Amino acid sequence: MKTTGYDVTVIGASSLLGKELLAVLEERNFPISNLITVSGEPDEPDLPIVGLSRRRTQSDYQEEIPADFDFAFVAAPHSDLAPWMERAGRERPGSKGSRAVMDLCCSLPQAEPAAVRVPFLDGPSATAQEHDGGKAFRAIVSPHAATLVIGALLSRLAARFHVRNAVAQIFSPASEMGPRAIDELQKQTVNLLSFQKVPREAFGAQIAFNLLPRLGAGFEKADALESRVRNELTAYLEGRAPVPALRLLQVPVFYSTAVSLYAETAERVPPSDLVAALEGAPIKIRRTSEKPPTPADVAGEGDILVDAIQPDAAHPAGLWLWAVADNMRLAAINAVQIAEGLHRQRQPLHLMK
């Protein structure tokens, strides 16, 4: 990291999303002078992310969240978030400019809804142009990867064509539930093939070689992801495109989110016009001559891969989109891009530190 820069705090740094966030901060050379990492839930196992120049161990994490920061990223729930926000609200270092908290896991207690931001759609300076209203810090929602995928496809479609309605199915991987779910999916797969009893602590059911429309009693936290994506899409789209009917399925996949999206426009649109409307970083559209994208294709990548657009045979104005993205990496990149936009606005202050 650079020797001059910002005081950055990562809350939930021991989670899968937190580790991916640390990797993205390092890869993009975000200017950090002091990095504080706070672990997530106490029982979260410390699994390193391959690729970090220095792997963090549990001893690297501190328990208390510092109230003094320039940028804070919330990558996992933490029991101290509410009192931390109170402490941070009482302290406002005037020489450092407005501070920002990027919420990646919908965990911050909010008296009022925080803005949902997607820099690759809004433009790099969209967040920076907002006024903080004299607040001690600004809270910004960096949405879930499924929100990013669906929001990007619908907003780009709606910018060129009138979209009447949409329906989306989200295929959620084990990594959304953490390392223990990944470990249990592996054990279930091995045990089923060897005719042994399968563990069910993480999922509450058999997920290997199976699909689950819900996890049931005791697993409401995981099932809440569907509501979170719906709420984020409602806040982000703000009437520019219809909020799709949503259904989330748990699938026996370790990493990467897949989305099946149906959209209906006011009139039939030629596929070439649809491609022109949708394509552009980070969205890449496969042609019919290429193989369809899979969750394995995007693991470790920041792109959203979309299969060749399929018209609906029974509805001339209907179209089907299949999209995949690395759920951890896409979410982490979006959060860092929000911070980069604020950094560009505050660069004179940054150089004075």
pLDDT tens digits, one per residue of 92-117:
544 445 789 999 998 887 656 688 99
**Domains in the chain, please, with CATH?**
6-143+331-352 (3.40.50.720), 146-327 (3.30.360.10)
* Burial class of 257 by CB neighbour count within 10 A (0 to 12, 13 to 18, 19+): buried
pLDDT tens digits, one per residue of 286-342:
999 999 999 999 999 999 999 999 999 999 999 999 999 999 999 999 999 999 999
pLDDT tens digits, one per residue of 3-16:
478 999 999 999 99
* Position 2 pLDDT exceeds 50: no
Residue-averaged pLDDT of the chain: 86
pLDDT at 129: 55
Q: Are 76 and 12 in contact (CB under 8 A)?
A: yes
pLDDT at 55: 45
Region of 231 on the Ramachandran plot (φ > 0 left; ψ -120 to 50 alpha; else beta): alpha
Question: Does pTM surpass 0.85?
Answer: yes
Poorest-pLDDT segment among 16-30, 69-83, 90-104, 293-307: 90-104
Cα angle, residue 39 at apex, residues 38 and 43 outer, rounded to 5°:
160
Mean pLDDT of 24-33: 96
pLDDT tens digits, one per residue of 205-256:
999 999 999 887 777 666 689 999 999 999 999 989 999 999 999 999 999 9
Mean pLDDT of 167-194: 96
Q: Considering only CA atoms, which of 337, 166, 335 is closest in space to residue 259?
A: 166
Per the model's pLDDT, the better-predicted residue between 333 and 78 turns out to be 333
Q: In what order do the strands lie in the sheet with 71-74?
A: 32-38, 6-11, 71-74, 99-103, 137-141, 115-116
Q: How far is CA 98 from the centre of its chain?
A: 24
pLDDT tens digits, one per residue of 252-272:
999 999 999 999 999 999 999
Q: Are 319 and 274 in contact (CB under 8 A)?
A: yes
Binned at pLDDT 50, 70 and 90, residue 127 comes out as: low
